[in-house]
Structure 1
Amino acid sequence: MSENEAGLPGVDPRVPNPARIYNYFLGGKDNFAADRAAAEAVLAMAPEVRVAARENREFLVRAVDYLTRGVGIRQFVDIGAGIPAERPVHEVAQAVDPDARVAYVDNDTIVLSHARALLDRGRGTAVVGGDVREPEAILEAPELAGLIDVGRPVAVILIAVLHFVPDSDDPAALVRRLADRLPSGSHVVITHLSDGGVPDDPRIAATRELYRGGLHFRPRKEIEALFDGLELVEPGLVGVGEWRRAGAGGTSWWLAGVARKA
């Protein structure tokens, strides 16, 4: 990552950043030394995290392909999109239908800078500054409203973002507020870090400390509650490596699901 980006407002290269750490897990180069050090500390405790991050990304590709090809969704709102990675949502969707539209939403300065520089907004994409904790503001943003018709079915993508939302902000209520604004036939795609049924695993506490307490490993029951009021499509809530992937095993730390609004 360039020194110019280190000088962006609100960017401190000395403080590890979740989007840049995730970029490092995926093998990207858009990160600083502090991000790499934090990522390596996580990998020292749980080497499988790098594989899990890639499984998470592969799930996203499969989910978008399913929604575009199998369901007929042509509009996507990717909230907490992160630094652009290989096979972004619009490439997957537009491989099925070149007219598919995707709005990428994030509240991170570097993410927005990269997204605006790399994405061809002439091909059915938009980059929107927004926070998942303010769902109405996201859906009403002029950049999104100019691209996405919320009167027609939309897929809202929440990949690896809700585990950064504390209980005090009620992540399940945030999902409901998003879904309530969308018509029947819309879908919600979620991945979330699980405690793996072992909430006292010391690696969870150590990882949360690296993320300054801003990372929340939730039990399966609480992740299932994120889909309340929606219809989970088969195979339901499963590990990211298992969702519609034949013969897959995968990690138990990341759970994934796709749900439909009736």
Structure 2
Amino acid sequence: VNDDEDPAGIVRYWRDRVPSGSCFFVSHFRSGNNPETAEAEKVLQATFGRGRWRTDAEIGALLDGLDILEPGIVPAPLWRSEEAGTPWKGGQRELTVWERLIAAGMARKP
């Protein structure tokens, strides 16, 4: 969702209509601060033709008025991975650039 489509307003619309205790899950393309991520963003943007990549802070800001749950906004493979068990044989390892491109998080309405 591009900025001119008011993504925060979309979340706010639903936030205001659900009961307290409701949860919102978000997954989002995330901007990185390195040449590899910038190149991946460029390739995927050319493929999709539209869309908006955001930093973790920008993604978190879309959840204004909600309590972001642990572990916060993180690369999707790391979101609650301890509950599902490690997704990799042999234990933890460094994430690839591609694995860092999607952020995930959950927030609860107070």
- Provide the TM-score with structure 1 as the length reference: 0.34
Partner of 1:204: 41
- Which of 74, 87, 102 aligns to 1:238? It is 74
Deviations 1:210-262 (A, max 9, x none): 212x1322122211111111001111111111111125554221111111001
Q: Which has the higher contact order (CA 8 A, sep 6+)?
A: 2
Q: Which runs of 5+ in 2 are unaligned?
A: 87-91
User: Conserved in 1, the CA contact under 8 Å of 2:30 and 2:53?
Assistant: yes
Q: CA deviation at 1:203?
A: 3.0
SS in 2 for 1:241: helix
Partner of 2:52: 216
Residues of 2 paired with 1:203 and 1:241: CA distance?
Answer: 17
SS in 2 for 1:204: helix
Q: Which runs of 4+ in 1 moved over 4 A?
A: 247-250
Deviations 1:112-134 (A, max 9, x none): xxxxxxxxxxxxxxxxxxxxxxx
SS in 1 for 2:12: helix
1:261 has 2:109 as partner: yes
SS in 2 for 1:175: helix
Q: Highest Rg: 1 or 2?
A: 1
- Which of 182, 203, 216 aligns to 2:18? It is 182
Q: CA deviation at 1:197?
A: 2.5
- Provide the TM-score with structure 2 as the length reference: 0.77
Deviations 1:68-111 (A, max 9, x none): xxxxxxxxxxxxxxxxxxxxxxxxxxxxxxxxxxxxxxxxxxxx
Partner of 1:227: 63
User: Conserved in 1, the CA contact under 8 Å of 2:27 and 2:104?
Assistant: yes
- Report % sequence identity: 36
Q: CA deviation at 1:182?
A: 0.8
What CA RMSD, in Å, does the superposition of the two structures yield over aligned residues? Answer: 2.0
User: Conserved in 1, the CA contact under 8 Å of 2:56 and 2:74?
Assistant: no
SS in 1 for 2:27: strand
Aligned residue pairs: how many? 97
Q: CA deviation at 1:191?
A: 0.4
Q: CA deviation at 1:198?
A: 3.7
Residues of 2 paired with 1:257 and 1:180: CA distance?
Answer: 19
Amino acid at match of 1:259: A
